[in-house]
Chain A
Amino acid sequence: MSGTFIGMPKFQTAAKEALGNSQQRRNLQHATHTIREKRARVVEELDDWEGLRQAGADIKDNVLSHLDTYLVQLEESLTRAGATVHWAGDAAEANEIVTSLVRATGADEVVKVKSMATQEIGLNEALEEAGIAAWETDLAELIVQLGHDRPSHILVPAIHRNRAEIREIFLREMGHVGTPPPAGLTSEPRELAEAARVHLREKFLRAKVAISGANFAIAETGTLVVVESEGNGRMCLTLPETLISVVGIEKVLPRLEDLEVFMQLLPRSSTGERMNPYTSTWTGITPGDGPQQVHVVLLDNGRTDALADTVGRQALRCIRCSACLNVCPVYERVGGHAYGSVYPGPIGAILNPQLRGTTSEVDQSLPYASSLCGACGDVCPVKIEIPDLLVHLRTRVVDEHRGGMPSGEEIAMKGAAWMFSDHRRWEKAQKGAELGGRMFRKKDTIGRLPGPLSAWSDARDAPVPPAESFRTWWKREKEGQ
C-alpha cells in the first residue's frame, strides 16, 4: 500500500528535489525545532545524563561483543515462556516466516504496532502480495499508509505533513479501507485523533493477528518490551489471539534491570518526555490473558555484517530514538525521503550502508550526506560517534573503488596529496596561484568559476587568491629571502 524505497537515486539528487518543497521545509523546520528544544529541556534536568549515556553505551557494547551467548539465552527463555522462536537471515526469509504464520491462522488481515524492523524488511508489501491486509495502527504510520506515502522519520513517520494535509488524506482515503471520518472534519488535532480512533477501533476489535517489533528483548527472562505514546500498540499486543514480533538481533539486553538505564534515555531522547505514556512488556504466553500464540522472529538482515566491522559496529547500539534526526541540519532541510530508506538522517547515513552494503548509488552517497557538524554525536543517548563513522564509511566507499578506472575525484585527490607531500612542490603551486591573484588584482570576489567548481559559484561568490602567499611574505619579512 505505501510506497517503497527501491531504486532511489543518490542522496544529492533526491535532496535537491526535496529542498524545493517549501511546505515540507516549513513542516520539518517547525517539528524538528520543537522536539529539539523539548529534548534539551528534559535532558538538562538530569545531573547524571552523561553517566546514563555511558551506561547505555557500555551495556550495548557488552551485548554486541557477546551477541551469540545472549541470543541463545534469549531463545531458551522465550521457549520456556511458551513463545516460538524463528530465525531469519534476511528480509525475504523473515517475510516468508511471517506470511506463513499468518496464513496458518486463516486470517486475511493483521493489525500492526509501529515497528522499524518490519518497515525495514518491507513486510506490509510482502503481506499484501500474499493477499493479507496489514493495518498500521500508529497514528503517524496510519497517515503515511493512507496517503500512499513513505515514512520520513523514525519516530514521527508523517513529520513532513501538517494538519491540513492530514485532514485531506483522512477525508480522501479512510472510507476506502474502513470507517470513514465525519463529513465536517476540521484540522483540529482533537478531531483528527478522534477520526483515527474510531477508524482503528473497528480494526482492533476484529483482528485475530497482530504484528509488532520490540524496543528491547531481555535475554534472562524472555521478556519483550514496546515503548509507545498512543496506547494503540497496547491494543494490538493484548486483543488478538496471535502475536508475531519481528525483532532485530541487536535489540537483546542481558537483564531486566538494564531497562532502568534505557527507560531514562529513550523517552527523553525521542519525544522529549520524562516518561512515555505506554510501556508494554510480555513474556511468552500467560494462559487466559492476552495472545495465546506468541511468535518471535529474530532478524539478522545485515546486522552480522555490521558486527564484523569493529569500528562500524557501534551503529548497532542504536535505540532508534531519532534525536540525531531532529538535531541534524541536513535532515531538517531535506527531510527523510532523500535517504532512500526507512532509516533516514544521521543514523540512516551510517546504518544503511552497513546493513545493505555499499553497492548501490544511494548507499554509496549516504556517508557523504553530512557536513560533519557533530550535532548528532552530541545528542546520541548511546554515544555513537556518528561523525567518525561517517568518515569511516567514506573511506570504505573510496577504498572499494580503488583499482578500477580512477574517477576524476580520485585523480584530483591523488594529485593534491602528491603536491602536499613535498613542500617544494607546494611552493611551486602557490607561485601559480599568486600569478592568478595578480590577474584578479582589481576584484574582491569571483562570481563565476568553470567546470565542477561551478557547484561552488552557482550561489556563492568565490574568494580571489592573494598576490602573495603567507610563505612568500614570511620568507621576505622574517628570513630576508
Chain B
Amino acid sequence: MRVALFATCFNDSMWPETPKAVVTILERLGVTVEFPLEQTCCGQMFTNTGYAREALPLVERFADVFGEYDAVVAPSGSCVGSVRHQHATVASGCDRPALADRARTTAGKVFELSELLVDVLGVTDVGATFPHRVTYHPTCHSLRMLRVADKPLRLLREVRGIDLVDLPSAEECCGFGGTFAMKNSDTSVAMGSDKAHHVRETRAEVLVAGDNSCLAHVGGLLTRQRSGVRVMHLAEVLASTERDFAVDNELGDPPAATTTQHTDTEATT
C-alpha cells in the first residue's frame, strides 16, 4: 500500500512538528509514508470564504498530486473535510464535471489521522507514552463533517501514563471558523473564551485536538490569559514515547501512579 502524507499548508509552514509526528507514528507501525513535494494547499480557506474560482486550481492540483496513491493521510479534520465534502462541489460549481469525478475518487482515499489509524490500519494502541493530564476537544469538522466519532479518544485511551479527562460541552465550536476568526473576531473570541474556560475547568495541562488552527485560536487565548495550559496536536501526543520523558525520569519526576499505570498496561499487552 502506497501511503502519502498531505501535511496541509498550515502545518507544513507553521506547525512542522505535527506532520513529523505523523511520520513517526506511521514508521513505528511499519508503514512507509511518502511526501509528494508538489503538494501545496487543499483550498479550504478560499472555498469557505467564497473564492471558489481561486480554489479550483488547488482542487485540480490535489487530484493530480494524490490521485495515484492508495491512501492519503492528513493531520487536519477540516482539510480532510474540505477535500471530501467540498472538492467535487467546487469543480461542479465551476462547470468541470470530469474534474468533479476525479476529485470524488481521490477524496475517497483521503483520511484524517485517526481514521487512517483506526479504520484503515486497525490499530488503537500506537505505542505512545504521555504522562500528563490531557483533555480532548473534538473539532467541528472532525465531528460533524467527517464523523470520526470517538476514534481520537480510543487512540488516546491507549496512551501509557495519560490522565485523560472529559471536556465539558466538548461538542461546542471553539469559534475559530477559518476567516470567521478575523471577519467576526469579537464573536469568535466570545466563543473561544467559553471553550478556554471549559478547558481550565478540567485542570488539564494539555489541550489536545486534531486541528492546529483551532488549537492556535484556543491556545492563543489560553496563553494570553497566562493560564499555563498548552495545546498539542493529537499526532504529537501519539508520537510521544517513553524516551521523550527520559529527562523527567532522571529528575524522578513522574508521579508513582503514572509509573504503576505504565507497568500495568505493559503487562497486559
- Cross-chain contact B20 with A473 (CB below 8 angstroms): yes
B56: nearest chain-A partner, CB-CB: A417
- Cross-chain contact B20 with A470 (CB below 8 angstroms): yes
Residue among B178, B181, B220 with most chain A CB within 10 A: B220
A473: nearest chain-B partner, CB-CB: B16
Let me know if B187 is at the binding interface, CB within 8 A. yes
Let me know if A282 is at the binding interface, CB within 8 A. no
B-contact 0/1 string along A437-450, CB 8 Å cutoff: 00000001101000
Inter-chain CA distance A453–B183, complex, in Å, is 11
Given A15-B184, A378-B144, A460-B217, the answer on whether A414 and B54 have CB atoms closer than 8 Å is yes
Inter-chain CA distance A398–B93, complex, in Å, is 14
Let me know if B245 is at the binding interface, CB within 8 A. no
- Cross-chain contact B54 with A374 (CB below 8 angstroms): no
Let me know if B58 is at the binding interface, CB within 8 A. yes
Inter-chain CA distance A144–B89, complex, in Å, is 42
Let me know if B121 is at the binding interface, CB within 8 A. no
B-contact 0/1 string along A207-230, CB 8 Å cutoff: 000000000000000000000000
Residues 23-82 of B contacting A (Cβ, < 8 Å): 35, 37-41, 43, 45-55, 57-58, 61
Shortest A32–chain B CB gap in Å is 11
- Cross-chain contact B180 with A471 (CB below 8 angstroms): no
What are the residues of chain B within 8 A of A456 when measuring CB–CB? 181-182, 185, 220
Interface residues on A, range: 35 or more
What are the residues of chain A within 8 A of B152 when measuring CB–CB? none
Q: Which of A329, A396, A457 contacts B173 (CB 8 A)?
A: A329
Residues 107-123 of A contacting B (Cβ, < 8 Å): none
Residue count of chain B within 8 Å CB distance of chain A: 68
A330: nearest chain-B partner, CB-CB: B187
A-contact 0/1 string along B133-149, CB 8 Å cutoff: 00000001101110000
Residues 350-396 of A contacting B (Cβ, < 8 Å): 367-375, 377-378, 388, 391, 394-396
- Cross-chain contact B40 with A463 (CB below 8 angstroms): no
Inter-chain CA distance A329–B93, complex, in Å, is 29
- Cross-chain contact B20 with A459 (CB below 8 angstroms): no
Q: Among the listed stretches B124-132, B155-163, B189-197, which one makes contact with chain A, having 4 or more residues with CB under 8 Å of it?
A: B189-197
- Cross-chain contact B9 with A371 (CB below 8 angstroms): no
What are the residues of chain A within 8 A of B192 when measuring CB–CB? 459-460
What are the residues of chain B within 8 A of A334 when measuring CB–CB? 187
Besides the known contacts A12-B186, A456-B181, A466-B17, 10 further A-B residue pairs in the complex with CB atoms under 8 A apart:
A19-B187, A375-B140, A375-B171, A395-B52, A396-B50, A455-B185, A457-B220, A458-B189, A459-B224, A461-B224
Which residues of B line the A interface, CB within 8 A?
Answer: 7, 9, 11-17, 19-20, 35, 37-41, 43, 45-55, 57-58, 61, 86, 89, 93, 140-141, 143-145, 171-173, 175-192, 216-217, 219-221, 223-224
Which residues of A line the B interface, CB within 8 A?
Answer: 11-12, 15-16, 19, 329-330, 333-334, 367-375, 377-378, 388, 391, 394-399, 409-410, 413-414, 416-417, 420-423, 426, 429-430, 433, 444-445, 447, 452-453, 455-463, 465-466, 468-471, 473-475, 478
